[in-house]
């Protein structure tokens, strides 16, 4: 058993070697494997998982080199109530996080890890979040006993030898220790130590709980790093919109999980727009790291290399680019299968029928859906037809607009623009959305989810809002800030806006506002396009839809801003006074 990286003795990897040796002494694996990210290594891991049933091969004719994984039925989503941020002072974690003293957390986790890898192989995964040569990127190492995690991390990050070389150059990395343990929900914890750049995750094999480069590193730990280093780590997609003149604007947009980030990131323009020459480019669908550039603009990278997307609802209508991306070289988790062994989920609408559900049992719609509502696909971003080569640009892409949005069945119009940066930060801080199946708990409950970061911010939201406000400095050329709501419903409970490709009509208005070419109507809550502000050619909207999508319910907003004031007050004296002043100003304007 070799606990030391090959041919690295005496190098700047000494700290990494010591940590790996310490973990091996604690967890007691039968073997240690240092991952190099090679095709041969991946093929061997896939063969191992196929042999033990961890991965089931799908139809090689329709989905070549694609696999199905079934997680434990009690291990199917993020577990926010078991996710902790461990800072020396409780106030630094804030009321938005579950907190545990670091010493207590280490003791609890190390007791769980003690001997947990007996009979298993310990995999050491060096990885880079972001383009391997970008100054905006950050590296990490995940130690895990799950080959499924290794296979997914290979798709989701720049994993292996190049990442290890960068770690050796820089001498710093985020440490992530993971074990599936016994998959016992009573012995499951995901614990973060921001001051130590360390993550410990035990008892889950599911996505964001186990792929530690994703939410754990790229958001909870990175948000802490970003505050110290003067940048932003955000739960945002990044897309490029190219107009008929060949100019491209990049937009970053924050939506809670399962609220349409992937669909928007891979948007296909309506037919008339395509005919006129509009194009949409996908840079990222989930996470965005932004840093001020020399010219005062914010530049963004997607730290991920793949998509870990929600399968249900993905179809040729809702997201043809996503569907095209996952026809090969894809790992599916917790979906159903058809008689000829093709992956299937609710909403795929391809005329096929499932015979086996996500638990591996005969499909019975009276018993459970064929695919779990939070079932997933993992695939390289480069397989997306709309993939942008700029995703590998080490300098990142300049952001013209930041968009916030969530699921709101009532009150919130289709789109509005913040007056300035401070108002924009309030719009993000006050963002509300109805909960989805991406996390455990009740679905459809409205909750505040600031910047879509409620489950992911690694420190006190009051300090996080202050950090956002700090970017408004002399010479800064900050993006315009907007809020959208694709999910407004009519009295009959049906969506009023067609969504999907037609969302480009809203993005076009935003770009017009950035360029100073589009008109807007001033209201207390922000600048609205008005009904004539959007290109609605070919879109049939009822009178009710026009009224609710482009109107202002003053009484409803008075109640909303009273609620926002109560919410902000929960953060106490650390909350920036500027946000309270902005909330009070708008509440007064609403009368």
Give the residue ranges of the annotated binding site: 78, 206-208, 215, 235, 257-263, 286, 374-376, 407, 500-503
Q: State the binding site for GTP.
A: 258-263, 376, 407, 500-503
> Do 204 and 187 meet the contact criterion of CB atoms below 8 Å apart?
no
Which residues are known binding-site members for substrate? 78, 206-208, 257, 374-376
CA-to-CA dists, residue 373 to 334, 345, 469, angstroms: 9, 9, 37
Query: Per DSSP, what are the bridge partners of residue 178?
Result: 201
Helix (H) or strand (E) holding 567: helix 554-569
What distance in Å separates the CA atoms of residue 483 and residue 513, rounded to the nearest whole number?
13
- Positions at the binding site for Mn(2+): 215, 235, 286
Nearest to 416 by CA among 426, 406, 403: 403
- Report residue 417 as tokens: 């623009």
Distances 425 to 94, 170, 421 between C-alpha atoms, Å: 18, 34, 6
The answer to whether the beta carbons of residues 457 and 497 sit under 8 Å apart is no
Residue 189 has phi, psi (to 5 degrees) of -145, 140
CA distance 16 to 300: 29
259 in catalytic set: yes
**Inter-residue contact 318 to 500 (CB < 8 Å):** yes
Pairing label, strands 236-242, 354-356: unpaired
d(CA 413, CA 510): 15
Measured between alpha carbons, how far is 57 from 178 in angstroms, rounded to an integer? 26
Query: CB of 179 within 8 A of CB of 114?
Result: no
> Which among 169, 179, 141, 177 has a CA at the least distance from the CA of 157?
141
Helix H or strand E encompassing 556: helix 554-569
Helices 461-469, 222-229: inter-axial angle, 10-degree rounding: 40
**The one catalytic residue among 86, 216, 259, 288:** 259
| Residues identified as active-site | 259
């Amino acid at each position: 058993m070799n606990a030391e990286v090959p041919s690295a003795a005496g190098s700047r990897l000494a700290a990494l070697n010591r940590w790996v040796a310490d973990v091996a002494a604690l967890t007691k694996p039968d073997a240690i494997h240092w991952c190099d990210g090679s095709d041969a290594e991946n093929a061997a891991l896939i063969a191992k998982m196929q042999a033990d049933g961890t991965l089931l091969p799908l139809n090689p004719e329709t989905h070549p080199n694609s696999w199905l994984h079934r997680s434990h039925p009690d291990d199917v989503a993020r577990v926010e109530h078991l996710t902790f941020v461990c800072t020396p002072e409780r106030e630094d974690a804030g009321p938005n996080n579950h907190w545990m003293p670091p010493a207590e957390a280490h003791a609890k986790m190390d007791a769980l890890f003690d001997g947990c890898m007996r009979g298993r192989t310990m995999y050491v995964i060096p990885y880079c979040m972001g383009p391997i040569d970008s100054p905006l990127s950050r590296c990490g190492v995940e130690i895990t006993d799950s080959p499924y995690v290794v296979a997914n991390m290979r798709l989701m990050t720049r994993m292996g030898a190049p990442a290890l070389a960068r770690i050796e150059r820089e001498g710093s990395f985020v440490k992530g220790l993971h074990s599936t343990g016994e998959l016992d929900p009573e012995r499951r914890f995901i614990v973060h130590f921001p001051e130590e750049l360390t993550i410990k995750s035990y008892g889950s094999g599911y996505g964001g709980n186990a792929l530690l480069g994703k939410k754990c590193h790229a958001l909870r730990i990175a948000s802490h790093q970003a505050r110290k280093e003067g940048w932003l780590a955000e739960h945002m997609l990044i897309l490029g919109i190219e107009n008929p003149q060949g100019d491209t604007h990049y937009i970053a947009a924050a939506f809670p999980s399962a609220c349409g980030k992937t669909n928007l990131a891979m948007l296909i323009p309506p037919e008339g727009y395509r005919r006129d020459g509009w194009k949409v480019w996908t840079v990222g669908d989930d996470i965005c790291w932004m840093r001020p550039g020399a010219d005062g603009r914010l530049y963004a990278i997607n730290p991920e290399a793949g998509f870990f997307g929600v399968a249900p609802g993905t179809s040729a209508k809702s997201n043809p680019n996503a569907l095209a991306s996952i026809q090969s070289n894809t790992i599916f988790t917790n979906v159903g299968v058809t008689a000829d062994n093709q992956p299937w989920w609710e909403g795929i609408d391809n005329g096929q029928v499932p015979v086996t559900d996500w638990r591996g049992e005969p499909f019975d719609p009276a018993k459970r859906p064929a695919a779990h509502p939070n079932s997933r696909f993992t695939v390289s971003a480069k397989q997306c037809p709309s993939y942008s080569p700029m995703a590998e640009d080490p300098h990142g892409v300049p952001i013209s607009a930041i968009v916030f949005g969530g699921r709101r069945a009532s009150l919130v119009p289709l789109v509005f623009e913040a007056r300035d940066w401070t108002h924009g930060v309030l719009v993000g801080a006050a963002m509300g959305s109805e909960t989805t199946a991406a996390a455990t708990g009740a679905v459809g409950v409205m909750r505040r989810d600031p910047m879509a970061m409620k489950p992911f911010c690694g420190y006190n939201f009051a300090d996080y809002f202050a950090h956002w406000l700090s970017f408004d400095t002399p010479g800064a050329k900050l993006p315009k800030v907007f809020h959208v709501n694709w999910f407004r419903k009519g009295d009959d409970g049906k969506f009023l806006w067609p969504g999907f490709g037609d969302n480009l009509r809203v993005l076009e208005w935003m770009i017009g506002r950035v360029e100073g070419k589009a008109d807007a109507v001033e209201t207390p809550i922000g600048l609205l396009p008005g009904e004539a502000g959007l290109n609605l050619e070919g879109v049939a909207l009822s009178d009710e839809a026009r009224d609710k999508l482009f109107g202002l319910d003053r009484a409803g907003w008075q109640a909303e801003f009273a609620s926002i004031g109560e919410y902000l007050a929960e953060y106490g004296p650390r909350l920036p006074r500027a946000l309270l002043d902005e909330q009070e100003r708008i509440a007064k304007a609403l009368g």
